[in-house]
Structure 1
Amino acid sequence: MKSTLSMNQIKNQLVFWLALIACLTPFVTSPTALIIGFLLATLGLVPHEFNLAKITKKLLAYSIVGLGFGIHFNDALAVTSDGIGLIVATIVGTLLIGWWTAKAFKLDKKTGYLICSGTAICGGSAIAAVAPAIKANDGQIGLSLATVFVLNSLALFIFPVIGHAVGLDQHTFGTWAAIAIHDTSSVVGAASAYGEEALTTATTLKLARALWIIPVALFSAFLFRSDSRKITIPYFILFYCLAIAVSDLLPQFEFVYQTVFDIAKKALVICLFLIGCGISVEKLKSAGPKPLVFGVTLWIGISCSSLAWLLLT
């Protein structure tokens, strides 16, 4: 029995490390990594010898700091100044409406808030940044990411069809995609299918929205402070700000920044794989359909309201 258990542990570790190595290749995207981790957890192939929750928490923080090197502050500010009203309105509106809607759905507070953050700003990156600030566990993070990734996949195909159906020009579609689609990867995919100008507008505006991770994460830490009213400052957000500042003040090291940014993106993929390893069919069943229904409701709301605004102005 002892020998069989040892062999099982060896098998689990082998499969786990092979899957993790696969996530380092360019062929595995963030949603795919989450699914791979989920499959390992469902099949009982995740080693129990590792403290994955602790590793994931630290790696998430490091990844967000690294992503800061890919944000050009001046470019983001230039785009933000053109549509600051719409950006602020959609972010604040999504968070407020989402907060009350999550209560109406009787959804777990932290899960609902993570879905709101991902919908309001930039999908998985926002969830990854806000999660440590509110001390969300792997289950809450996993459910939120799964919800966002499902909607991202749908948006990639649905948005260009709607855009052509209502006759949106390139600039308007790019703006709409940047506001209403969660992750940057799906924004780029949908906009590139629509046209070159749409791609430029959507990518730059999405970059500007990513800056809002900073105040939202800090506000989240205050909102979810403990009963002792002690606020835990998410210090990684301060380093995220420092990374943005350094890359702007010392542009001559662009190659280094791009390398760090690429490593951070890949580290985020690994994070999602590890988070997926903490999700199983049993956990999803216990959560029920509420997270997905809530995410869809919130997404339809911001998509329709932002499109209506763009068409009327």
Structure 2
Amino acid sequence: MNQPKTKNKLLSFFTNGKKIIFILLSLSCLIFTIDTPLALLLGILFSFIAGNPYPKSTKKITRYLLQLSIIGLGFGMDLVTAIKVGKEGLIFTIASICITLLIGITVGRLLHINKKIAFLIASGTAICGGSAIAAISPLIHADEEETTLSMATIFILNSIALFVFPVLGQIFHLTQEQFGYWSALAIHDTSSVVGAAQHYGAKALEIATMVKLERALWIIPLSFVTLIAFKEGKEDKGKKIKIPYFIFLFLLAIIANTYIPKYFPIFFQINHWLVGAAKKGLTLTLFFIGANLNLKSLKKVGIEPFLLGGILWVIISIVSLVVLQFFF
């Protein structure tokens, strides 16, 4: 007779214990110095062992926390350097976006992958991972499964990149500057780009963040082209294009850091604190991202979409690395 009550008590104990441990791990990302790859790994391990107790909340928080963290990083950057990096990275950005989309669509056809899934994976690889997929999916009338499959593919590759790229950077003896450009060009999502670059060094972080956010703005022209290419009727009229407005706040933070401390020296300390808080925020963001990866999403990704994402990733990584070796 007492068996159901005992089961309920054990279940309640396990659920509450899981929540407490998750909160403690989240706080440790803010209190202690934890590398971004380790934070991601902790999130993934916790998700696989116990399951994320707050999947909806962490998914929502992740989006805004990442944006705030990136804006905070702007308070540690110089406008002159940012303009220089932006100019140097512009040609690489345009070329890599066009090549990635072309290869993605072509390989997708050869592998007989759903046209919409192939385009979403190519868009995510070309620009900024999940953000690009989220912006493009409603414009091509992608259903929930097509969007989820595409995001899961990109997310798995992002997780691998965060661990692999800093190691490869050391193996190939890449400078901070080279690694900054390479990670921004070859890693899909902004969170993984910034995480890998932060692990590699301060200069790499500055370059990678600037180039990646410049790349993210290409969501706007790609969205317009997509609306024309996938136009299906009157329902496409009036569709809103998602613009990553937080990038403009990031630029304002760079301007503020460049000019305000010259007149108000106290802002040197404030900006230093803001950058430190942004790095902690990024660590927590990657813990939450890892916690949102589960076995169900892994099983959903078929071999063909993952193969497409992998092929695109390898091609872009190799080509951009070779080009950067010649130019930098």
Q: What is the TM-score when the length of structure 1 is the normalising length?
A: 0.71
CA RMSD between the two structures: 4.0
Summarize deviations over 1:196-255 as a string: whole Å, max 9, x none: xxx96x666535413414523444665788945123443323322322332233244233
Sequence identity of aligned pairs in percent? Answer: 25
User: Does the CA-based 8 Å contact 2:121-2:133 persist in structure 1?
Assistant: no
User: Residue in 2 aligned with 1:15?
Assistant: 21
User: Residue in 2 aligned with 1:116?
Assistant: 126
Secondary structure of the residue aligned to 2:218 is: helix
Shift of 1:36: 1.7
User: Residue in 2 aligned with 1:147?
Assistant: 157
- Give the total of aligned pairs: 292
* 2:45 paired residue among 22, 39, 42: 39
Shift of 1:115: 3.5
Residue 258 in 1 paired to residue 264 in 2?
no
Q: Which amino acid aligns with 2:96?
A: T
Unaligned stretches of 5+ residues in structure 2? 138-143, 188-192, 228-234
Name which one, 1 or 2, has greater alpha-carbon Rg. 2
Higher mean C-alpha displacement, 137-146 vs 229-238 = 137-146
Superposed counterparts of 1:298-309, under 5 Å: 298-309=312-323
User: Residue in 1 aligned with 2:91?
Assistant: 85
Superposed counterparts of 1:53-202, under 5 Å: 53-82=59-88, 84-98=90-104, 101=107, 106=113, 108=117, 110=120, 112-117=122-127, 126-127=128-129, 130=132, 143-162=153-172, 177=182, 182=187, 183=193, 186=196
Superposed counterparts of 1:286-301, under 5 Å: 286-290=300-304, 292-301=306-315
Shift of 1:75: 0.6
* 1:267 paired residue among 281, 296, 310: 281
> For residues 55 and 172 of structure 1, what CA distance do their matches in structure 2 show?
31
Q: What is the TM-score when the length of structure 2 is the normalising length?
A: 0.68
User: Does the CA-based 8 Å contact 2:123-2:133 persist in structure 1?
Assistant: no
> For residues 275 and 151 of structure 2, what CA distance do their matches in structure 1 show?
23
Secondary structure of the residue aligned to 1:231 is: coil
* 2:254 paired residue among 244, 254, 278: 244
Summarize deviations over 1:28-79 as a string: whole Å, max 9, x none: 2223222222222222343259633222233233223223323322112224
User: Residue in 2 aligned with 1:234?
Assistant: 244
Superposed counterparts of 1:205-220, under 5 Å: 205-206=207-208, 208-219=210-221
Unaligned stretches of 5+ residues in structure 1? 118-125, 193-198
User: Residue in 2 aligned with 1:195?
Assistant: none
Higher mean C-alpha displacement, 15-24 vs 89-98 = 89-98
